[in-house]
């Protein structure tokens, strides 16, 4: 029986739970048990999904205290000897995973986006060179297998309910904390592009009339996102960037305006239902993934489509009045 | 006070070309640059030194010896010393081994604080700062956007970090590793005109494995715990697509598509 531990990041519980799908892909038909590490927070979210939940309640333990979190996970591993440990590649997880891997003396693969098997050997696939290339990385016979997994890539869909056992855990390895949170200001959070069903996205070809995108997005009740090129040139903020160095998005509709579709950009699109791309170059890579390719200027396209949508609405209203 | 800046030189990925015919990266003539986040870290250290001249700034990098001209350029911006950790045996090391090598050098070095960048543009694992911190038994924090340098005088330092959802202020015990993020906007100063040709050769040292005494099996590809089995470009799956123009018919097609899917 294989044992897999998943670290539940308090800031992003859902992404952490989704790692169960990665575990399923690692063990496939083998028998395995899943464990969750959950500290100072309600365990409801993990219930019925994991076989076991370690519940830690200790006021000494804070989310920013990576050293003590490492101590806890090490302590658990020494007792349970997990075969794999998966940590979401969140802000916290990206500091915790490498520290724990060093503590346990095992290799770590960062930002895994896919699990594969090659000649019977587990291969963790991750993007490299800003997503221009992918690397299949293997672990040299070390246990546990450790990886940090990019959020929003795996989705846990099992309807099978588990009889979750709660294991209260009282760590003995905590040490006086050397880090103190003084103040936390919530960032002004405009709605996240990851939550939008419709994205109107602009690339280099739309950089000079980027404002227009907002009009189309408003009309469609969607949000505006951007490619790295637009963000790097300062026209749009990092928070709306799609791609390997930005966010992974799964909208139902992605309208790509003047976007070339580099690998680093395409890596940010997961399970997008429909893509419409507007480009003066009909051979741009993104066009081959699109349902409809409009060959032409993106500003002209927006103007014409807006007119079309508005006129149709007007006609409908008029008909309704009659 | 003494600040160590741990930096990395990377291939200039923004200007990478990809050969779609042969499915390979064009690596010829790709020049090395200082990783942008690491530049922010060094820039902050040099700011501190500009305000407090008794500050000593040491640059540490693990790299092929060919980075020397780039390192010299940084020294001309008023850094005090540079160490290039370089040995044929080290090539092919993964992040685990790299961290061990760097930590072994640092174990015998004096410092009050270590600065690094958060992300690197090439591998972007962000493992090394955390793993070096683990080996040196100290705190490490990523994506720092502001360091309150007046606080550096005491036993702790106060920083502001962008944690994705919040901007948080922390107090961290010294010594520690602070990984600076690009949004910190610390910028490297230019080389002053009179220093353009400044001879800085006596301020660079190269550290080899003789100095660090690892066995051959501990480092390089052999010592690494992970192995890159293969690299490949993602094959994009083509869809059945309709190609139209920006004319009435084209817009009609797009509109009908949006309508059929319920988007308008």
ipTM of the complex: 0.88
CB contact under 8 Å between B246 and A11, yes or no, is: no
Angle at B124 between CA A287 and CA A107, to 5 degrees: 120
Chain A residues whose CB is inside 8 A of the B171 CB are 179-180, 182
User: Which of the four pLDDT bands, split at 50, 70 and 90, describes residue A307?
Assistant: very high
Considering only the beta carbons, identify the residue of B130, B143, B158 that sits closest to A98.
B130
Radius of gyration of chain B (CA): 23
pLDDT at A164: 95
Mutate to test the interface with B, among A62, A103, A179, A186 (most CBs of B within 10 A): A179
Q: Does B108 touch chain A (CB under 8 A)?
A: no
pLDDT at A169: 95
pLDDT at B13: 63
Q: Does residue B246 form part of some domain? A: no
Q: A38: which DSSP letter?
A: E
pLDDT in tens, A22-43: 999 999 989 999 999 998 888 8
Q: CA of B60, closest CA in chain A: separation in Å?
A: 21
The token pair at A280 is 């003066």
Angle at A259 between CA A257 and CA A265, to 5 degrees: 130
Which structural domain range is residue B172 located in? 2-223
Q: In chain A, which ranges are E strands? A: 2-7, 32-39, 52-56, 84-88, 108-112, 114-118, 121-128, 133-139, 145-149, 165-168, 179-186, 198-202, 223-226, 253-257, 274-279, 292-295
Task: Point out the residues of chain B with pLDDT beneath 70.
Answer: 13-29, 234-239
pLDDT at A232: 87
The token pair at A255 is 């309208």
Q: Does residue B203 form part of some domain? A: yes
Tell me the average pLDDT across A35-59: 91
pLDDT in tens, A69-122: 999 999 999 999 999 999 999 999 999 999 999 999 999 999 999 999 988 899
pLDDT at A130: 65
Q: Does B217 touch chain A (CB under 8 A)?
A: no
Q: What ranges in chain A are assigned the alpha helix state H?
A: 13-27, 66-80, 93-104, 211-220, 228-232, 263-266, 298-321
Angle at A288 between CA A284 and CA A294, to 5 degrees: 70
User: Which of the four pLDDT bands, split at 50, 70 and 90, describes residue A189?
Assistant: low
pLDDT at A79: 96
CB contact under 8 Å between B250 and A296, yes or no, is: yes
CATH number of A193-321: 3.40.50.1220
Q: CA of B200, closest CA in chain A: separation in Å?
A: 32
Model pTM score: 0.81
Q: CA of B173, closest CA in chain A: separation in Å?
A: 5
CB contact under 8 Å between B171 and A182, yes or no, is: yes
Tell me the average pLDDT across A221-248: 90
Domains held by chain B: number? 1
- Provide the mean pLDDT of chain A: 92
pLDDT at A77: 98
Within 10 angstroms of residue B164's Cβ, the number of other Cβ atoms is 14
CA gap A95, A107 in Å, rounded:
15
pLDDT at A10: 87
pLDDT at B240: 75
CA gap A34, A13 in Å, rounded:
16
CATH number of A2-168: 3.40.50.620
Domain with CATH 3.40.50.620 in chain A: 2-168
CATH of the domain at B153: 3.40.50.620
DSSP count for chain B of H helices, then E strands: 7, 15
Q: Does residue B47 form part of some domain? A: yes
Mutate to test the interface with B, among A199, A294, A301, A315 (most CBs of B within 10 A): A294
User: Which of the four pLDDT bands, split at 50, 70 and 90, describes residue A158?
Assistant: confident
Q: Does residue B234 form part of some domain? A: no
pLDDT at A313: 86
The residues facing B158 across adjacent strands are B148, B171
CB contact under 8 Å between A220 and B263, yes or no, is: yes
8 A C-beta contact, residue B231 and residue A221: no
């Amino acid at each position: 029986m294989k044992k897999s531990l998943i670290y539940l990041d308090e800031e992003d519980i859902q992404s952490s739970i989704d790692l169960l799908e990665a575990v399923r892909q690692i063990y496939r038909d083998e028998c395995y048990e899943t464990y969750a590490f959950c500290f100072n927070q309600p365990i409801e979210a993990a219930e019925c999904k994991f076989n076991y939940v370690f519940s830690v309640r200790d006021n000494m333990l804070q989310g920013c205290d990576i050293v003590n979190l490492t101590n806890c996970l090490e302590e658990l591993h020494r007792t349970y000897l997990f075969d794999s440990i998966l940590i979401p590649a969140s802000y916290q997880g990206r500091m915790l995973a490498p520290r724990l891997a060093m503590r346990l003396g095992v290799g770590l693969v960062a930002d895994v986006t896919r699990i594969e098997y090659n000649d019977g050997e587990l291969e963790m696939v991750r993007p490299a060179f800003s997503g221009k290339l992918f690397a299949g990385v293997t672990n040299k016979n070390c246990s546990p297998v450790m990886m940090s997994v990019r959020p929003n890539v795996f989705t846990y869909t099992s309807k099978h309910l588990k009889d979750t056992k709660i294991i209260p855990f009282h760590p003995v390895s905590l040490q006086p904390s050397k880090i103190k949170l003084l103040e936390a200001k919530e960032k002004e959070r405009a709605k996240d592009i990851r939550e939008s069903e419709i994205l109107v996205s602009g690339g280099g070809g739309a950089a000079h009339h980027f404002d227009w995108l907002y009009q189309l997005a408003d009309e469609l009740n969607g949000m505006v996102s951007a490619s790295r090129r637009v963000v790097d040139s300062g026209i749009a903020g990092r928070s709306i960037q799609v791609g390997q160095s930005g966010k992974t998005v799964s909208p139902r509709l992605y309208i790509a305006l003047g976007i070339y579709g580099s690998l680093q950009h395409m890596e940010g699109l997961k399970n997008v239902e429909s893509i419409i791309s507007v480009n003066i170059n009909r051979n741009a890579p993104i066009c081959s993934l699109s349902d409809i390719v409009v060959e032409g200027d993106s500003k002209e396209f927006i103007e014409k489509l807006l007119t079309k949508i508005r006129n149709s609405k007007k006609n409908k209203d008029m008909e309704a009045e009659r | 006070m003494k600040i160590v800046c741990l930096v990395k030189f990377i291939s200039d990925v923004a200007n990478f070309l990809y050969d779609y015919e042969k499915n390979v990266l064009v690596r010829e003539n790709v020049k090395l640059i200082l990783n942008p986040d690491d530049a922010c870290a060094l820039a902050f250290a040099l700011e501190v030194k500009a305000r407090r001249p008794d500050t000593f700034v040491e640059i540490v990098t693990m790299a092929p010896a060919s980075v020397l001209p780039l390192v010299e350029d940084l020294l001309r911006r008023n850094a005090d010393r540079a160490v290039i950790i370089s040995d044929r045996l080290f090539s092919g090391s993964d992040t685990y081994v790299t961290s061990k090598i760097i930590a072994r050098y640092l174990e015998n070095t004096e410092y009050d604080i270590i600065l690094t960048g958060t992300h690197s543009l090439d591998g972007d694992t962000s493992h090394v700062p955390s793993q070096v911190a683990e080996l040196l038994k100290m705190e490490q924090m990523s994506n720092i956007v502001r360091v309150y340098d007046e606080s550096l005088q005491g036993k702790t330092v106060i920083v502001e970090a962008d944690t994705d959802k919040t901007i948080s202020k922390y107090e961290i015990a010294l010594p520690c590793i602070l990984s600076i993020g690009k949004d910190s906007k610390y910028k490297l100063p230019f080389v002053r005109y009179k220093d353009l040709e400044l001879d800085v050769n006596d301020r660079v040292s190269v550290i080899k494995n003789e100095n660090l005494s690892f066995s051959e099996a501990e480092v390089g590809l052999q010592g690494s715990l992970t192995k890159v089995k293969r690299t490949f470009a993602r094959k994009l799956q083509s869809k059945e697509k309709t190609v139209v123009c920006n004319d009435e018919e084209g817009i009609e097609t797009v509109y009908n598509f949006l309508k059929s899917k319920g988007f308008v």
